[in-house]
Structure 1
Amino acid sequence: MSDVPLHLAVIVGSTREGRLGGVVADWFVDQARKREDFDVDVIDLVDTPLPVIQQKHPVTTGEYTTPEVREFASRIGLADAFVVVTPEYNHGYPASLKLAIDSVSPEWRAKPVGFVSYGGYAGGLRAVEQLRLVFAELHATTIRETVSFHMFFTKFDENGRPREADEVNGAAKVLLDQLGWWGEALRAARAARPYAA
């Protein structure tokens, strides 16, 4: 294990007014920050304005034409690993998250992605399954373990703490352990040889 912490970007995917994702993200970020193997950067898409229409396509040009996208690309590029916090809206993930993912391209490559999802009966897992396909196309590696909150509105107390803390904290540990393994392995691989896309 390296002594240099992995740069973990936690992406909060919902931008809806009255969203519940902040509660989930705060809990997860707290779990990640308790560890010494991660340096955490929270990228909340509410605070990360990205243009819907961009001048050039980053895959074909490698250029980002707006300062907002350049800043976002820089933060994604610095990350060694990602956790996406996503709700499930109408059996899918939010448009704000798709816009963010598609705004940059090479910065995702050869890096691991984990998911924390929330929703109703499905707990956001249908959104996660769709996101796995999207990240595969971007040459990112999604890890198997996922933390999901089914019937989310019953899972946290009025102070934003999980009602079944031992269970979900344990699930977060497994996710972070696997993310750490993949993060270190892929960081070493990228340093040894540039990824061929």
Structure 2
Amino acid sequence: MTSRLNIIVASTRPGRVGASVGKWFHEVAAAHPGFEANLVDLAEFDLPVYDEPKHPRLQDYAHEHTKKWAASVASADAFVFVTPEYNYGTTPALLNALNYVYTEWNYKPAGFVSYAGVSGGMRAVEHVKPTLNVLKVVPLVESVLVPMVSEKVKDGVFTPGDIQVQSAKVMLDELARWTGALKPLRG
């Protein structure tokens, strides 16, 4: 039985490379036998800075953008966040999106495809993990790092190196294990 994997492109910045990195990873994940892979672009949700009048735990959403986002998060069994590193951290758009809902995130695993300059986005991943812990999301150790991402994107197409291809397979295999292990907690 396959599980639904939402691959969330966390950059909403004009001129971003995240969409091309996300497209590549989506193709890899779609070929994995454990997942039905779905590419989710935060830019398409156009979430304003958090504007719900009630706490997300209540799931009593006032705005259509929140209801749409909550349905997307709830539909997934697992996540992969495709995130750049901005100023040693993750994107404001991702932190905002994480904080919009609560219960919809609970008891699901998450992997990361991070990209940046020399760091490969590792600091962005470490920056977001405490928030995921509070949301009862299990962040994996296995991840895909893309250092010097600008050298790997030509004409809007991301071309991974061998290490990214190998890391993606390892992370997806581990993500499938955790997805199965956490499923009873969501029942």
The TM-score, its normalising length taken from structure 2, stands at: 0.94
What CA deviation, in whole Å up to 9, does each residue of 1:130-188 have, x standing for no partner?
Answer: 11111001111011111011111112444624252x32111100010000000011113
**SS state of the match for residue 104, structure 2?**
helix
Q: Does 1:171 align with 2:167?
A: yes
Unaligned runs of 5+ in 2: none
Residue among 46, 66, 70 paired with 1:69: 66
**SS state of the match for residue 145, structure 1?**
coil
Matches within 5 A, 1:1-197: 4-52=1-49, 53-59=51-57, 61-158=58-155, 160-162=157-159, 164=161, 166-191=162-187
8 Å contact 2:111–2:139 — kept in the other structure?
A: yes
Q: Name the CA shift for 1:163/1:35 in 2 (closer, same or farther; >3 Å).
A: closer
Code of the aligned partner of 1:70? K
- Give 1:50 deviation, angstroms: 1.6
Code of the aligned partner of 2:181? A
What CA deviation, in whole Å up to 9, does each residue of 1:70-97 have, x standing for no partner?
Answer: 1111111111000000000111111111
CA-based RMSD of the aligned residues comes to 1.4
Identical counterparts, % of pairs: 38
- Give 1:37 deviation, angstroms: 1.4
**SS state of the match for residue 121, structure 1?**
coil
Unaligned runs of 5+ in 1: 192-197
- Give 1:68 deviation, angstroms: 1.2
What CA deviation, in whole Å up to 9, does each residue of 1:45-71 have, x standing for no partner?
Answer: 110122322222212x33111111111
In structure 1, C-alpha distance between the alignment counterparts of 2:42 and 2:186, rounded to whole Å: 27
In structure 1, C-alpha distance between the alignment counterparts of 2:136 and 2:74, rounded to whole Å: 14
In structure 1, C-alpha distance between the alignment counterparts of 2:155 and 2:39, rounded to whole Å: 23
